[in-house]
């Protein structure tokens, strides 16, 4: 059975989704994840206020490319009318769906009445979602958490009420807002949502999937329709390829060689410069180098060079040095 979102988005039997991550899941990063087999992606989350004010940073996040499809634009905000207007703006950018963020735990989002803070006011969350659903012909999906804190785990109510007003899929991060990203994600409540006989939309699990083994075990144990992966893909887009290969064949793929790591890092750098220009593209790529070469012994000297250089040819030279100097047999 294929997992479908709305009428037209067919994600295959058990999709792997790239979680929307602020300052990470931009088009260059999405490109390397798509090359490694991710089934659906989202933009970084976009402020509804920023879209309405026509802020350049928010508008740039609307950039999507044909090869990325299916792709969703994720929005967040605290004002219902502004969310409605921003859904109209996003619809013009022609994504495959619009996703609403009711999960972001960070202070400057949640304390302004957006993101996970809506878990404290389900009536407002429902009204906001309804306004977005009615403002677009595209499928609307939601990403949220188990609840605000341990005393208010209300994701069962959220799932039923949002499905009733027309959302087409729900991704649930297995933590409360109070937990932020600490402790262990609890997927048992995600399984309970999935088992609810009233729920017929796809339910995606998110939180702590960082290996092929965990993806396979949790797929069985928690009965979700698909898995959304975030932090584990940073600097390691191969995670999608490895999980898919295991699901299809039962075999564990070898990790990427140093040469493969260099190739993907170069692709990411090139795309970053194409999209943002030399200066910003090079600067913003710095946050990714340590992750691409994680686990390689005595790497610090190269990392220091990579984050200091401002000329793309010099960076490429260092990357080729890494390819040449570290044993091909290293994979991890």
Catalytic residues: 104
* H or E stretch at 42: strand 41-42
Q: In the chain, which ranges are continuous DSSP H helix?
A: 27-35, 48-53, 56-60, 80-92, 107-110, 122-135, 155-164, 188-195, 212-222, 238-249, 258-276, 278-292, 300-308, 312-325
Report yes or no: 63 and 275 within 8 Å, Cβ to Cβ.
Answer: yes
Please state, in angstroms and as integers, the Cα–Cα distance from residue 123 to each residue in 116, 150, 161, 190, following that order.
14, 20, 9, 21
Identify the residue whose tokens are 């088992």: 195
Please, are residues 66 and 43 in contact by the beta-carbon 8 Å criterion? Answer: no
First to last CA, the chain: 34
Q: Can you spell out the DSSP letters for 139-177? A: -EEEEEES-SSTT---HHHHHHHHHHTT---EEEESS-T
- 213, exposed or middle or buried, with CB in 10 Å at 0-12, 13-18, 19+? exposed
- Residue 120 gets which letter from DSSP? G
CA 69, CA 95: separation in Å to the nearest integer? Answer: 8
CA–CA separation, 19 and 42 (whole Å) = 7
Count of alpha carbons within 13 angstroms of residue 174, beta-carbon side: 25
What are phi and psi for residue 116, nearest 5 degrees?
-65, -15
């Amino acid at each position: 059975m294929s997992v479908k979102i709305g009428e037209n988005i067919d994600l295959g039997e058990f999709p792997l989704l790239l979680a929307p991550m602020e300052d990470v899941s931009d088009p260059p990063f999405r490109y390397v994840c798509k090359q490694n087999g991710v089934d659906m992606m989202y933009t970084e989350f976009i402020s509804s206020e920023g879209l309405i004010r026509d802020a350049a940073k928010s508008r740039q996040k609307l950039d999507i490319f044909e090869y990325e499809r299916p792709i969703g634009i994720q929005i967040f905000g605290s004002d219902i009318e502004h969310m409605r207007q921003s859904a109209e703006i996003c619809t013009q950018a022609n994504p495959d769906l619009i996703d609403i963020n009711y999960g972001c735990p960070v202070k400057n989002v949640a304390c302004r009445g957006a993101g996970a803070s809506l878990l404290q006011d389900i009536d407002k969350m429902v009204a906001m979602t309804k306004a977005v659903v009615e403002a677009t012909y595209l499928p609307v999906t939601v990403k949220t958490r188990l609840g605000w804190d341990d005393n208010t785990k209300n994701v069962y109510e959220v799932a039923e009420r949002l499905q009733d007003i027309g959302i087409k899929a729900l991704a649930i991060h297995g933590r409360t807002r109070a937990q932020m990203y600490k402790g262990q994600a609890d997927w048992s409540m995600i399984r309970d949502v999935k088992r609810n006989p009233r729920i017929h939309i796809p339910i995606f699990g998110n939180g702590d999937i960082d290996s092929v083994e965990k993806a396979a075990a949790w797929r069985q144990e928690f009965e979700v329709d698909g898995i959304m992966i975030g932090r584990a893909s940073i600097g390691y887009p191969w995670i999608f390829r490895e999980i898919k290969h295991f699901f299809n064949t039962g075999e564990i793929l070898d990790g990427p060689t140093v040469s493969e790591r260099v190739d993907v890092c170069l692709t990411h750098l090139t795309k970053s410069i194409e999209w943002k220009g030399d200066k910003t593209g090079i600067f913003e790529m710095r946050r990714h180098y340590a992750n691409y070469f994680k686990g390689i012994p005595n790497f610090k000297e190269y990392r220091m060079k990579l984050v200091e250089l401002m000329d793309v040819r010099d960076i490429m030279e260092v990357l080729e040095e890494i390819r040449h100097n570290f044993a091909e047999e290293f994979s991890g």
